[in-house]
Amino acid sequence: MQLIDIGVNLTNPSFAQNAAAVVERAQAAGVVQMLVTGTSVEGSEQGLQLCRELDPRGQRLFATAGIHPHSASEWNADSEGQLRALLGEPQVKAVGECGLDFNRDFSPRAQQEKVLELHLALAVERGLPVFLHERDANERLLAIVREFRDSLVGAVVHCFTGERKALFSYLDLDLHIGITGWICDERRGTHLHPLMASIPRGRLMLESDAPYLLPRSLRPKPKNGRNEPAYLGQVLAEVARHRDESLEDLAAHSTACARAFFGLPGLDSPGVEVQEQDAR
């Protein structure tokens, strides 16, 4: 089976000393391609640089570029130009992580909304999909995205943790859904179980959100408590169980969905075998 992790925070300090080993472990576990999440201008630049260093052929590591709603207040006169330049790089495949977070309100809500609109405008300009974050802001996110939807090539609600009403509101707007290890959490993720069968094939993608959201179903658990893309199989197993699908079937259609959504190369592209040999 082949999996694609659509969201890994590989620039997180916890990966600083062993990012290459993390990528190698992921590949050994069948996670053949990954998207490195950008959450600030500086972080997006670092993510792109990691992709270049660890995957110079541009076959297995890709990046997003954006400013997380927590950091929306950091947007300045240079931000738009810096992001536009990043979004022109071939290994940058999406705009984001961007969106609204009315749960923690680390940035003023009005500023979050303004910055989200600027990201969506960049996505339309560049013809790239959007990697969205939403917490306690379903209705406002919908209202803003709806204004751009006809011009967007696509958008995925990353790390979906909402209720049935929110899920269907996103599906009705023709958005994609990203599922993480949250679904493996018996304390707070069980409400997601009956929703999995409602996500159409072709709209569902899997992600680790590493180093966060270590699947609680994982045995044995790593001593450092850090999540990695190599554990994405736990998310696959839990989602498959609640969709009544085989692991192979879910892996095939979620991977095909991610590859099409982000415009990733197929594994028969030149250089993949050599790169995988290098990783081993």
pLDDT per position as a tens digit, 108-124: 999 999 999 999 999 99
Would the pLDDT of 269 be above 50? no
Q: Do the beta carbons of residue 154 and residue 127 sit within 8 Å?
A: no
Percent of the chain with pLDDT over 90: 95
Q: What is the mean pLDDT of residues 223-249?
A: 97
Would the pLDDT of 277 be above 60? no
Q: What is the mean pLDDT of residues 249-269?
A: 93
| Total-model pTM | 0.94
Summarised one tens digit per residue, pLDDT across range 209-219 is 999 999 999 99
Summarised one tens digit per residue, pLDDT across range 24-67 is 999 999 999 999 999 999 999 999 999 999 999 999 999 999 99
Summarised one tens digit per residue, pLDDT across range 155-211 is 999 999 999 999 999 999 999 999 999 999 999 999 999 999 999 999 999 999 999
Task: Spell out the CATH class of 3-279.
Answer: alpha beta
Instruction: With H, G, I as helix, E, B as strand and everything else as coil, classify residue 91.
Output: coil
Would the pLDDT of 268 be above 80? no
Torsion of CA 176, 181, 186, 192, to 10 degrees: 0
Angstrom distance (rounded) from CA 139 to CA 223: 39
Confidence tier at 273 by pLDDT (50, 70, 90): very low
Average pLDDT, the chain: 95
Query: Residue 25 has what pLDDT?
Result: 98
Instruction: Give the amino acid at 142.
Output: L
The residue count of the chain comes to 280
Angstrom distance (rounded) from CA 26 to CA 28: 5
Transcribe 173-224 into DSSP letters. TT-EEEE-GGGG-TTT-GGGGGGGGGSPTTSEEE---TTS---TT-SSPPTT
Instruction: With H, G, I as helix, E, B as strand and everything else as coil, classify residue 32.
Output: strand
Query: Residue 271 has what pLDDT?
Result: 38
Instruction: Give the amino acid at 85.
Output: A
Summarised one tens digit per residue, pLDDT across range 120-171 is 999 999 999 999 999 999 999 999 999 999 999 999 999 999 999 999 999 9
Closest CA to 88 of 122, 41, 60: 122
